[in-house]
């Protein structure tokens, strides 16, 4: 992974309540972090390192794993496990604000119909500050959506950066990224696009 001089995309937060637990999809509201805004800084960290289990998801056919993060319907759970096994397994193994956020963003971006929720705007990832969302979506909606729909890209943001406190370009981030193969290219595209966004 390349080392970045200036990090535009250091932390992103979910738009709505980020609560999930291993038995329900409507847990308590997620915490608000002091995530840095466009322009860099340190990552917001809440809790310790999240565990990751499972073997990864597949966008074709049935679920490739059983994450253990049960949802309100079997259709929602199956879709989640088929698309978001890494993040859902992490949320089931070690529920927390950031692991739950990763699972929720990935699940709702991929399975909003199966889970009976509204389709998220631009994948549902909201920058900090949230007031920058309109500017980010106007310039980078395709990149934000692609990342939200990628279990690995979502995990890079919410697990590597937010949960583990690994800033992109560091050895910590590179080691964490190895756990989520396939997410780096989408993350880099989002990071590059966000770097050019001016928040009004």
**pLDDT confidence of residue 64:** 60
DSSP annotation of 160 reads I
Strands (E), the chain: 12-14, 125-127
On whether the CB atoms of residues 157 and 177 are closer than 8 A, the answer is no
What pairs with residue 198 in β-bridges? none
- Let me know: does 198 contact 154? Beta carbons within 8 Å: no
Domain that includes residue 87, residue range: 18-23+52-195
Asked whether residue 4 is assigned to any structural domain, the reply reads no
Q: Is residue 169 domain-resident?
A: yes
Whether residue 129 is preceded by a cis peptide bond, meaning omega within 30 degrees of 0, is yes
pTM more than 0.85: no
CB 155 within 8 A of CB 102: yes
Question: Between 133-148 and 97-115, two packed helices, what is the crossing angle to 10 degrees?
Answer: 80
Q: How far apart are the first and last CA of the chain?
A: 31
Residues contacting residue 176 through CB under 8 Å, at least 6 positions apart: 156, 159, 160, 164, 166
Domain annotation covers residue 105: yes
Looking at the domain assignment, is residue 108 inside a domain? yes
The encoded tokens of residue 98 equal 């950031």
Instruction: State how many domains the chain has.
Output: 1
Residue 33 falls inside a structural domain = no
What is the rounded CA–CA span in Å between residue 157 and residue 27?
A: 21
| pLDDT digit string (tens) for the chain, length 200 residues | 333 322 344 334 333 323 343 333 333 223 323 232 333 332 222 223 333 333 343 344 444 689 999 999 999 999 999 999 999 999 999 999 999 999 999 999 999 999 999 999 999 998 888 999 999 999 999 999 999 999 999 999 999 999 999 999 999 999 999 999 999 999 999 999 999 999 98
- The answer to whether residue 89 sits within a structural domain is yes
CA distance 25 to 82: 16
Question: How large is the angle between the packed helices 97-115 and 74-83, nearest 10 degrees?
Answer: 120
Phi-psi region of 41 (alpha: psi -120 to 50; beta: other; left: phi over 0): left
- Domain assignment present for 45: no
Q: Is residue 29 part of a domain?
A: no
């Amino acid at each position: 992974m390349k080392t970045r001089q200036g990090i535009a995309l250091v932390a992103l937060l979910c738009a709505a309540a980020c609560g999930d637990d291993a038995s329900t999809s409507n847990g308590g509201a997620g915490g608000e972090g002091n995530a840095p805004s466009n322009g860099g800084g340190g990552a917001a960290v809440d809790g310790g390192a999240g565990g990751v289990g499972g073997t990864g998801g597949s966008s074709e056919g049935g679920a490739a794993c059983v994450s253990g993060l049960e949802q309100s319907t079997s259709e929602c759970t199956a879709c989640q496990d088929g698309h978001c096994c890494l993040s859902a397994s992490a949320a089931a193994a070690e529920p927390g604000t950031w692991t739950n956020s990763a699972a929720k963003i990935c699940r709702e971006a991929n399975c909003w119909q199966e889970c009976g929720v509204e389709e998220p705007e631009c994948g549902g990832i909201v920058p900090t500050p949230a007031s920058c969302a309109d500017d980010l979506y106007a310039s980078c909606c395709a990149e934000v959506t692609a990342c939200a729909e990628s279990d690995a890209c979502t995990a890079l943001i919410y697990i590597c950066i937010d949960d583990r406190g690994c800033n992109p370009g560091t050895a910590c981030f590179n080691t964490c990224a190895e756990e989520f193969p396939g997410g780096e290219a989408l993350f880099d595209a989002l990071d590059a696009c966000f770097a050019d966004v001016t928040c009004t």
